[in-house]
């Protein structure tokens, strides 16, 4: 009796203090049994199906045995609390546990999900390998050519949905390998990770909703179709200057309600079918220290971009070897229109792309775009500074459509001797041309033949204090232009990799040193973090 009384008192104390008893659940695909208690290493469960029956509480953990493998749809129940996240991870020694939906579609679902969250928060997934692969499927685009019974259905390794939920907080994806997802190449919203805000069909039940805290760090996302990581929201309609509730020119109503604290850091994206990363409907998303390597392997897509975001910041990333698919080898019916490293996409305000290295991509280093056919489309205030763009095919900097007030300063744009007929600057029409684009303190260096600058019918372009070196057709007027050799430390050694941009450091006596102009809003540091005081150098690396 005394033990029971003490137990009741202990539970009451936990309740009064706001504490919650924490439980760790163990899964072992070899020695486990779903009739076990599941709460000890020596008494583990066996299947995902057993875990899906449990309502997890704040502070609980679910640990899969390292070296183990599970097939099925993991849909854990429950949410954590601030300071008491639910953690789904691994225990023991050996390779990360593997969870694979194997293309199976859960009851009532429209796509195949390996891990699925619905209106949940304060949860972390870590130290797992997550797949979703099904053999003997054929791309939907090839159905008419082949008499087959399966097509690639939408598949997602990790799907997170919020519906009429208000604000959901703090979802962490840490040290995951997300791979081998043979999804639908015709749909951007499937692949590795897809995060979505939806709403009820009944308008009277709709609650404006978003995420506050989506953190993806130290993950390896590769061999996924169509997209590596993406998110979206139904709360996304607006125009450049509209406010909540105003009617828009296309007849819709401004209802833009962005997610916040979206951070993607220290991840590697490789061999996505098209785009590696798309961040949508977000306020101040941060994308930094990521590697985007050889993406777009099956269809048109720039490696990474924000869409319909304010104040997005992309920095210290490397994007390289994005694949350009021709009409003969693309899953699309026409050649790629996008196969570059970075993109400030439309419906964005004040995007900053700085301190990045974009090189050897199949169709451009960077894009700023705006769909001129849309009554509500815009791209305003993009800043591209202190980046190095090297040996990208076809063009280096592209501005497509009626983007406005773009500032491009203190970048190095380099086209080597093997890169013929590259447009260093390419302004093109997308139902309209750009307006008010400024190029300041940049170095444009061409060793190739046929390099050019093409501004099309864009208006109010401004060039000042740029350095142009080499044979460049269409070189623009610039009252403070320099056409001497900038004297890089080494113009084009056979190096690859992030640190190799150091070859673009300036030698003593370079004409680019201390000859740039001060730019309003300057970050105060160069690509390496070197302070910039007084008149800045031209290019991305301040001379020490």
Q: What pLDDT was estimated at residue 490?
A: 77
- Are residues 421 and 323 located together in one domain of the fold? yes
pLDDT at 175 over 80: yes
Which residues span the domain enclosing 347?
285-544
Considering the domain boundaries, does residue 16 fall inside one? no
pLDDT at 128 over 70: yes
- Are residues 154 and 54 located together in one domain of the fold? yes
pLDDT (tens digit per residue) in 406-417: 999 999 999 998
Q: What pLDDT was estimated at residue 7?
A: 43
Are 352 and 336 spatial neighbours (Cβ–Cβ below 8 Å)?
no
Rg value, the chain, Cα: 26
Considering the domain boundaries, does residue 172 fall inside one? yes
**Residues in Cβ contact with 288 at an 8 Å cutoff, skipping those fewer than 6 apart:** 264, 265, 313, 314, 315, 316, 317
Hunting for tokens 């990581």 — which residue is that? Answer: 229
Q: Whole-angstrom Cα distance, residue 461 to residue 48?
A: 59
- Are residues 348 and 433 located together in one domain of the fold? yes
pLDDT (tens digit per residue) in 72-89: 999 999 999 999 999 999
Lowest mean pLDDT: which of 101-110, 112-121, 353-362?
101-110
Instruction: Write down the pTM of the prediction.
Output: 0.93
Q: What pLDDT was estimated at residue 498?
A: 54
Strands (E), 208-317: 210-217, 220-224, 227-233, 259-265, 268-270, 277-280, 282-283, 286-288, 291-293, 304-307, 313-315
Q: What pLDDT was estimated at residue 19?
A: 46
Considering the domain boundaries, does residue 295 fall inside one? yes
Q: Are strands 318-320 and 286-288 parallel, antiparallel or unpaired?
A: unpaired
pLDDT (tens digit per residue) in 111-123: 999 999 999 999 9
Considering the domain boundaries, does residue 212 fall inside one? yes
Q: Whole-angstrom Cα distance, residue 353 to residue 17?
A: 46
Q: Averaged over 340-349, what is the pLDDT? A: 98
Structural domains of the chain, count: 2
Strand partners of residue 315? 288, 354
Considering the domain boundaries, does residue 217 fall inside one? yes
- Are residues 172 and 113 located together in one domain of the fold? yes
- Are residues 82 and 229 located together in one domain of the fold? yes
- Are residues 323 and 207 located together in one domain of the fold? no
pLDDT (tens digit per residue) in 252-306: 999 999 999 999 999 999 999 999 999 999 999 999 999 999 999 999 999 999 9
The Cα diameter of the chain in Å comes to 93
pLDDT (tens digit per residue) in 459-514: 999 999 999 999 999 999 999 999 999 999 874 444 445 568 889 999 999 999 99
Q: What pLDDT was estimated at residue 393?
A: 96
Q: What pLDDT was estimated at residue 328?
A: 64
Q: What pLDDT was estimated at residue 156?
A: 97
Q: Whole-angstrom Cα distance, residue 407 to residue 348?
A: 14
Considering the domain boundaries, does residue 442 fall inside one? yes
pLDDT (tens digit per residue) in 211-263: 999 999 999 999 999 999 999 999 999 999 999 999 999 999 999 999 999 99
* % pLDDT > 70, the chain: 90
pLDDT at 12 over 60: no
Q: Is 173 helix (H, G, I), strand (E, B) or coil?
A: strand
Res. 151 pLDDT band, cuts 50 70 90 = low
pLDDT at 197 over 60: yes
CA distances for 122 relative to 6, 114, 476, angstroms: 31, 19, 53
pLDDT at 11 over 70: no
- Are residues 56 and 118 located together in one domain of the fold? yes
- Are residues 222 and 291 located together in one domain of the fold? no
**Domain boundary, last residue among 172, 202, 235:** 235
Q: What pLDDT was estimated at residue 21?
A: 61
Q: What pLDDT was estimated at residue 179?
A: 98
Res. 333 pLDDT band, cuts 50 70 90 = low
**Average pLDDT value over all residues in the chain:** 92
Which uninterrupted H or E stretch holds 62? strand 61-65
- Are residues 196 and 324 located together in one domain of the fold? no
Q: First CA to last CA across the chain, in angstroms?
A: 77
Res. 8 pLDDT band, cuts 50 70 90 = very low
- Are residues 452 and 308 located together in one domain of the fold? yes
Are 303 and 314 spatial neighbours (Cβ–Cβ below 8 Å)?
no
Considering the domain boundaries, does residue 423 fall inside one? yes
- Are residues 436 and 340 located together in one domain of the fold? yes
Q: What pLDDT was estimated at residue 332?
A: 62
Q: Whole-angstrom Cα distance, residue 40 to residue 37?
A: 7
- Are residues 213 and 327 located together in one domain of the fold? no
Q: What pLDDT was estimated at residue 5?
A: 44
pLDDT (tens digit per residue) in 17-72: 344 569 999 999 999 999 999 999 999 999 999 999 999 999 999 999 999 999 99
Considering the domain boundaries, does residue 371 fall inside one? yes
Q: What pLDDT was estimated at residue 153?
A: 76
Q: What pLDDT was estimated at residue 135?
A: 84
**Domain boundary, last residue among 235, 255, 272:** 235
Lowest mean pLDDT: which of 24-33, 334-343, 366-375?
334-343
**Domain boundary, last residue among 235, 270, 300:** 235
pLDDT at 143 over 90: no
């Amino acid at each position: 009796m005394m033990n029971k009384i003490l137990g009741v008192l202990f539970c009451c104390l936990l309740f009064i203090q706001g504490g919650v008893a924490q439980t760790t659940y163990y899964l072992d695909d070899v020695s486990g049994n779903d009739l076990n208690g599941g709460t000890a290493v020596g008494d583990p469960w066996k299947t995902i199906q057993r875990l899906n029956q449990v309502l997890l509480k704040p502070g609980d953990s679910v640990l899969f045995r390292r070296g183990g493998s599970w097939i099925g749809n993991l849909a854990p129940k429950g949410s954590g609390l601030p300071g008491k996240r639910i953690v789904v991870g691994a225990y023991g020694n050996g390779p990360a546990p593997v969870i694979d939906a194997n293309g199976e579609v859960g009851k009532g679902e429209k796509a195949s999900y390996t891990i699925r969250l619905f209106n949940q928060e304060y949860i972390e997934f870590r130290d797992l390998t997550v797949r979703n692969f099904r053999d003997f499927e054929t791309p939907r685009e090839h159905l008419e050519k082949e008499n087959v019974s399966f097509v690639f259905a939408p598949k997602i390794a990790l799907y997170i949905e919020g519906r009429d939920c208000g604000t959901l907080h703090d979802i962490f994806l840490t040290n995951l390998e997300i791979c081998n997802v043979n999804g639908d190449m015709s749909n951007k919203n499937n692949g590795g990770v897809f995060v979505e805000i939806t709403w009820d069909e009944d308008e009277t039940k709709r609650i404006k909703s978003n995420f506050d805290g989506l953190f993806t760090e130290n993950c390896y996302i590769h061999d996924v179709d169509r997209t590596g990581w993406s998110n979206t929201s139904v709360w996304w309609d607006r125009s450049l200057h509209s406010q909540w509730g105003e009617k828009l020119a296309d007849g819709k109503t401004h209802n833009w309600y962005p997610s916040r604290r979206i951070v993607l850091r220290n991840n590697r994206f490789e061999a996505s079918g098209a785009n590696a990363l798309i961040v949508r409907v977000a306020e101040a998303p941060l994308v930094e220290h990521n590697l985007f390597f050889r993406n777009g392997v099956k269809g048109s897509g720039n490696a990474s971009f924000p869409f319909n975001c304010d104040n997005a910041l992309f920095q210290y990333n490397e994007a390289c070897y994005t694949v350009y698919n021709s009409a003969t080898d693309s899953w699309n019916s026409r050649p790629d229109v996008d196969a570059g490293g970075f993109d400030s996409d439309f419906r964005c305000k004040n995007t900053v792309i700085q301190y990045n290295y974009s090189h050897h991509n199949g169709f451009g280093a960077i894009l700023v775009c705006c769909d001129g056919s849309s009554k509500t489309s815009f791209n305003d205030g993009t800043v591209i500074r202190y980046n190095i763009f090297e040996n990208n095919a076809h063009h280096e900097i592209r501005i497509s459509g009626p983007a406005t007030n773009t500032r491009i300063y203190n970048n190095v744009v380099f086209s080597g001797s093997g890169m013929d007929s590259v447009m260093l600057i390419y302004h093109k029409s997308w139902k309209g041309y750009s307006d008010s684009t400024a190029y300041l303190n940049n170095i444009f260096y061409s060793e190739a033949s046929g390099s050019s600058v093409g501004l099309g019918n864009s208006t109010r372009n401004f060039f000042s204090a740029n350095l142009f070196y080499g044979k460049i057709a269409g070189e623009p007027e610039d009252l403070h232009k320099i056409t001497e050799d900038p004297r890089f430390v080494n113009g084009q050694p056979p190096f690859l990799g992030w640190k190799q941009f150091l070859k673009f450091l300036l030698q003593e006596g370079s004409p680019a040193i201390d000859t740039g102009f001060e730019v309003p809003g300057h970050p105060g540091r160069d690509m390496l973090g070197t302070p910039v005081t007084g008149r800045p150098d031209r290019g991305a690396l301040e001379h020490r």
